[in-house]
Amino acid sequence: MTDPVLDELFDVIEARKAELPEGSYTASLFTHEKGQDAVLEKLGEEMTELVLAAKDGEDEAIAHESADIVYHLLVLLSMHEMDLEDLRAELRERR
């Protein structure tokens, strides 16, 4: 059995994209004046934080920063009209 947490998170991202609720961080990424660049900047920032956490051996921070990266990656996929199946298919090909 697989944990549906990524599917659930992606569903929330897609809903925020469609509804654009006020006060939603996710919705703000889809409407940001920088467009996709805002998400790309966040990915870069989170990657740097992950590298530093790993270098310092901070396991809790590694998990936290990894989750931030996955979240922003899913937003990026959604921005490109892609979904988790696209990601899964690519990973299957690499197996």
CA angle 86, 90, 2 (to 5 degrees): 75
Q: How confident is the model at residue 23 (pLDDT cuts 50, 70, 90)?
A: very high
Q: How confident is the model at residue 3 (pLDDT cuts 50, 70, 90)?
A: confident
| pLDDT greater than 80 at residue 1 | no
Q: How far is CA 38 from CA 25, 32, 33, 76, 77, in A?
A: 12, 7, 8, 10, 14
Instruction: Confirm whether pTM is higher than 0.85.
Output: yes
| Interval 43-95: pLDDT, tens | 999 999 999 999 999 999 999 999 999 999 999 999 999 999 999 999 999 99
Q: Which residue has the tokens 């988790």?
A: 84
Output the pLDDT for position 65: 98
Distance CA 73, CA 68 (A): 8
Q: Which has more pLDDT, 2 or 14?
A: 14
